[in-house]
Structure 1
Amino acid sequence: MDSSTVIIIEDGDGVSRSQKKKADVFCCQPFVSILRGKLSNNGHDMRKVIHSVKVGVALVLVSLLYLLDPFYDRVGENAMWAIMTVVVTFEFFTGATLSKGLNRGIGTVLGGGLGCLGAAFAQAVGGVGKSIVVGIVIFVFGAGVTYTRQMPKIKKKYDYGAMVFILTFNMIVVSGLRADQVLELARTRLSTIVMGFAVCIFISLLVFPIWASDELHDSLISRFELLARSLEGFSKEYFETSNEKEQKGSANFSSNCKSILHSKTRDESLVNFARWEPWHGKFGFSYPWGKYLKIGEDLRDLTTIIISLKSCLRSSTQSSETLRQSVKEPCQAVVSSLAWTIRELGESIKKMRKCQSEETIVPKLKSVRIELSVIVNPSTIGTDLENTDGLGLVSFIYSLMEMVEKMEELAKEVEELGEIGGFHKSS
């Protein structure tokens, strides 16, 4: 049998092609691994990529109005309005896209219609009166709609539509064209805006939709767990001895509280977007999104109490370590019960299961209240309350009692959410 000889062909650098290919693959592997891990481990980053691709596809589709002659012959330079509509309307969440798109459409129709009437009336007056009429109608509608935009309810849901109305109305009235040309201008621009909006809605709703309602639901649920961890973290820090140093738990406690406290603005924005979204998945029509705002407010109130508890550690009336250790076991049992209650309420929202507060939560909180009253009893503390050594501990106990009252309100809100939202009964 003839033996074959393998000839290795080297490039100009003296490196074989096979070796160079392996080296290139090896060099690319870390980047590919990092990118793949980032996309798979961080769902939010993946959604950013999906949203970016969707916007790119939408821009390509509306650009066909310019690129293809049959479309351009129909709409001409007004095709730019379709592109502008995609740019300003396509938002990250589907509800936000619907909100801005519908606001833009309504504002354009009303502004264009009233602008045509104003322009026609000015043309009928003619002469010097034409300019006076145009000035008057611009002032009246501009000032009136601007004042309306400052109303809280209008500003939350229809601010963008009001702004588009002012823009469209002024463009039509000031155009100075004849009434028939004004109508043609309004009709052409409206049709191109509708095309851009249709592309946005089609891609946003049907291609990997990103729902604001899901984001709000998951965000609220995560805060229950963060609150429970914060309470447990504070308890751990409060009762630790001078020899124990667990700085990590303290840092987590503070960061969790801050994230909960800063959630109000985002909640209001997500609720506004969620109300525009159609029925999908587990969220039907007229879902009580307003309850999420109330529950979020209760969670922030509880977080404020936990933050105030930390002042017990820095107070000049701070109890001695000996006194704290004497009530450590019953106090930590109370904290565990409160943390369990918080997690149970969050779990009922997560699984969309009706919260049986009268059967489970209320009895649990009543027993916690009794335990706290026993702990705060002077005979149990073993210290005269006039002595500053016991004041810090008493302040701590009464803060826990305040938390119990807030949790009872929170449980009631979660139960009402289950009733209105149609949650299923626990099996």
Structure 2
Amino acid sequence: MDSSTVIIIEDGDGVNKSQKKKKPYVCYCQPFVSVLMGKLSNNGHGMRKVIHSIKVGVALVLVSLLYLLDPFYDRVGENAMWAIMTVVVTFEFFTGATLSKGLNRGIGTVLGGGLGCLGAAFAQAVGGVGKGIVVGIAVFVFGAGATYTRQMPKIKKKYDYGAMVFILTFNMILVSGLRADQVLELARTRLSTILMGFAVCIFISLLVFPVWASDELHDSLVSRFELLARSLEGFSKEYFETANQKEQKASANFSSDCKSILHSKTRDETLVNFARWEPWHGKFGFSYPWGKYLKIGEDLRDLATIIISLKSCLRPSTQLSEIFRESIKEPCQTVIASLAWTVREFEESIQKMRKCQFEETIVPKLKSIRIELSVVTNPSTFKVNLENANGLGLVSFIYSLMEMVEKMEELAKEVEELGELGGFHKNNPCVIPS
């Protein structure tokens, strides 16, 4: 036998290639998994999205059993697809949205199906050429009428989806009824499968990690108070910094928080609409005054607009001289700090759902703010000609602060009314800072 020599080739690290082990496939996925888990652990909203996706998947599996199991399929047949369609179009992220779309779909299906059956039965009774004429007239009248109704503001806000489902169901039942011998059986089977899909959606949405639009709206409104207070403090810090301090560090952009507040209107209206559909849960009962949240949100946007307008006081053309700015620094900073305290007191009142003694605490505080502002504009203090830049800048600054105080008074009334209507509990009176 010929002897053979085996030569072992080593790589640059001195390790035999034959001794190397292949890295498991999971190693290549590990960075992606780590990033994903990090985002989920640091972001509660991201975790809720994952849970919602799982809930939708479970719902689809459950309604698919109508196809997969022969006993169910023998009863509903191809109409089982309507249950799957109901889950797909009805299951929303918020529980209130699911209830809203589900009930709208149910009402629209019942009304559309009932009227469609009556129309089909009447058309078949007429018979002949008149059957097609009756169907055409019915389709036009109900289709045009429902479409016009959808454009009404109140209907569009709450029942637009139900009106659309009504048009769809009415036309499908009426037209298909011309060719079907058992139109009532067809309507009954479709309605039953839709109700099955709706029941699965409601069961999972309400009982499995529900996501309440009311909680989202409440937390969102509370967080905006903190953004507003931070913006006030950010402006005060930037306005009264000396030139050397501004050179040493970049000033914070206090207006960015205000801009996020300004973009909250559409989201508020959507969440309020969903919250009104939700049942009694947690700290929110029936007939909770969600409309007050919209009014308070509007007041917060007005305050944010005023704070953004204060940015004009930072322009070189309206900026006060350093000496004059130091002379009014203490009273103005006191005013702004008091306004920020008032905003945070509103935040705490709504967050903890407790009544604050507004007449005994907030109103005196706002009066003291007016007194501080009067000190700044006092002739003995306000020694500057209105024609120069110092005077114009100060007038603009003081006017904005006064406007903010008036808006705070309106906001105080809205928060107080929310406490009365929402049944806020009584607690220790607010402590006014010295």
TM-score by length of 1: 0.92
* Equivalent residue, structure 1, for 2:20: 15
Q: For residue 27 of structure 1, report the CA deviation from its aligned partner.
A: 7.0
Matched residue of 1:287: which SS? coil
Does structure 1 residue 312 correspond to structure 2 residue 317?
no
Residues 134 and 28 of structure 1, relative CA distance in 2, 3 Å threshold: closer
Larger fraction in helix: 1
* Equivalent residue, structure 1, for 2:380: 379
1:27-176 map, 5 Å: 31-176=32-177
Residues 240 and 85 of structure 1, relative CA distance in 2, 3 Å threshold: same
Matched residue of 1:339: which SS? helix
Matched residue of 1:112: which SS? helix
Q: For residue 384 of structure 1, report the CA deviation from its aligned partner.
A: 2.2
Q: Which ranges in structure 2 are unaligned for 5 or more consecutive residues?
A: 1-14, 429-434
Q: For residue 36 of structure 1, report the CA deviation from its aligned partner.
A: 3.3
Q: Which whole-Å CA distance do the structure 1 matches of 2:208 and 2:129 have between them?
A: 55
Q: In the alignment, is the contact (CA less than 8 A) between 2:236 and 2:333 conserved in 1?
A: yes
- After TM superposition, the structure 1 stretch with the greater mean CA deviation from structure 2, 134-143 or 288-297, is 134-143
Q: For residue 110 of structure 1, report the CA deviation from its aligned partner.
A: 0.1
Q: Which whole-Å CA distance do the structure 2 matches of 1:84 and 1:197 have between them?
A: 10
Residues 79 and 314 of structure 1, relative CA distance in 2, 3 Å threshold: same
For residues 35-86 of structure 1, what are the alpha-carbon distances to aligned partners after superposition, in whole Å with 9 as ceiling and x for unaligned?
3332222100000000000000000000010011111000000000000000
Q: Which whole-Å CA distance do the structure 2 matches of 1:340 and 1:330 have between them?
A: 15
Superposed CA RMSD: 2.0
- After TM superposition, the structure 1 stretch with the greater mean CA deviation from structure 2, 28-37 or 204-213, is 28-37
Q: In the alignment, is the contact (CA less than 8 A) between 2:67 and 2:73 conserved in 1?
A: yes
Q: For residue 139 of structure 1, report the CA deviation from its aligned partner.
A: 1.1
Q: In the alignment, is the contact (CA less than 8 A) between 1:355 and 1:414 conserved in 2?
A: no
Q: For residue 319 of structure 1, report the CA deviation from its aligned partner.
A: 2.7
Does structure 1 residue 417 correspond to structure 2 residue 418?
yes
Q: In the alignment, is the contact (CA less than 8 A) between 1:369 and 1:401 conserved in 2?
A: yes
Q: In the alignment, is the contact (CA less than 8 A) between 2:312 and 2:318 conserved in 1?
A: no
- After TM superposition, the structure 1 stretch with the greater mean CA deviation from structure 2, 113-122 or 364-373, is 113-122
Residues 125 and 408 of structure 1, relative CA distance in 2, 3 Å threshold: same
* Equivalent residue, structure 1, for 2:328: 327
For residues 279-299 of structure 1, what are the alpha-carbon distances to aligned partners after superposition, in whole Å with 9 as ceiling and x for unaligned?
111111111111100000000
Matched residue of 2:83: which SS? helix
Q: In the alignment, is the contact (CA less than 8 A) between 1:123 and 1:178 conserved in 2?
A: no
Q: For residue 133 of structure 1, report the CA deviation from its aligned partner.
A: 1.4
Whichever residue aligns with residue 357 of structure 1, its letter is F
* Equivalent residue, structure 2, for 1:244: 245
1:280-359 map, 5 Å: 280-314=281-315, 316-359=317-360
Q: Which whole-Å CA distance do the structure 2 matches of 1:266 and 1:291 have between them?
A: 15
- After TM superposition, the structure 1 stretch with the greater mean CA deviation from structure 2, 118-127 or 294-303, is 118-127
Q: In the alignment, is the contact (CA less than 8 A) between 2:73 and 2:80 conserved in 1?
A: yes
Percentage identity across aligned positions?
85
* Equivalent residue, structure 1, for 2:204: 203
Residues 66 and 267 of structure 1, relative CA distance in 2, 3 Å threshold: same
Whichever residue aligns with residue 46 of structure 2, its letter is D
TM-score by length of 2: 0.91
* Equivalent residue, structure 1, for 2:12: none
Whichever residue aligns with residue 14 of structure 1, its letter is Q
Q: Which whole-Å CA distance do the structure 1 matches of 2:327 and 2:413 have between them?
A: 34
Q: In the alignment, is the contact (CA less than 8 A) between 1:318 and 1:391 conserved in 2?
A: no
Q: Which ranges in structure 1 are unaligned for 5 or more consecutive residues?
A: 1-9
Whichever residue aligns with residue 20 of structure 2, its letter is V
Q: In the alignment, is the contact (CA less than 8 A) between 1:82 and 1:195 conserved in 2?
A: yes
